[in-house]
Amino acid sequence: MCMVRLSTRRQRCNNWNEDEPCPNIVKRIKMLTFESRTCKAYQSDEGEYEVKDGKSMLHVSLNRKTCLCGAWQISGLPCKHAIRAILAAGLNLHQFCSTWFSVQNYKQAYANPIHSVPNFDHCPEIDMPTILPPVMKRSIGRPSRQRKRAPDEPDKGKRSTTVQC
């Protein structure tokens, strides 16, 4: 039912705003913004902030899109510390979300349909002889463990048994 899911998602994103991240990401950012209310951001340099979260102090770089907690780098979404810093800088939170979450990329991902593989009954009839697997003949005795070498191939050679310290 993969094609059904692709079709549903293609239709769903039709009226989404292309300048914003996907709606579930917008919701997540709102939730993180709410969580960030206990943090406090102090600017240390242009685009660089120290964010106080409880007893810990974390460095947030808006220039490199990193936070000391590491969540921003891993998820592609600003963590609560980064959100506090972005808000302190007076910038738009959505600009700091990775392009992975953009509506444009979502639309592109589901733009092309994947058609189902036809059933065997729907295969076209062809006027060709049926190809069967070769007849296997098992020879007497234990099967050889050594590979058969080509006539022009050199022998394997003996392994040295001399042990050197």
Minimum distance from residue 69 beta carbon to Zn ion (Å):
3
Task: Give the Cα separation of 58 and 60 in Å (integer).
Answer: 6
91 φ, ψ (degrees, to nearest 5)? -105, 170
Strand partners, 67: 60
Q: How far is CA 50 from the centre of its chain?
A: 31
Q: Are 103 and 16 in contact (CB under 8 A)?
A: yes
Task: Draw the binding track, 49-88, toward Zn ion (x: CB under 5 A; -: no contact).
Answer: ------------------x-x---------x-x-------
Minimum distance from residue 28 beta carbon to Zn ion (Å):
14
Q: How many CB atoms lie within 10 A of CB 105?
A: 13
Minimum distance from residue 20 beta carbon to Zn ion (Å):
22
Size of the site for Zn ion (CB under 5 A): 4
Minimum distance from residue 70 beta carbon to Zn ion (Å):
7
For Zn ion, the closer of residues 67 and 93 by Cβ is: 67
For Zn ion, the closer of residues 57 and 111 by Cβ is: 57
| Cβ contacts of 115 within 8 Å, gap of 6 or more | 3
Minimum distance from residue 74 beta carbon to Zn ion (Å):
10
Distances (CA, A) of 4 to 10, 111, 118: 10, 13, 16
For Zn ion, the closer of residues 62 and 69 by Cβ is: 69
Task: Draw the binding track, 91-130, toward Zn ion (x: CB under 5 A; -: no contact).
Answer: ----------------------------------------
Closest CA to 81 of 31, 47, 41, 21: 41
Residues that bind Zn ion (CB under 5 A): 67, 69, 79, 81
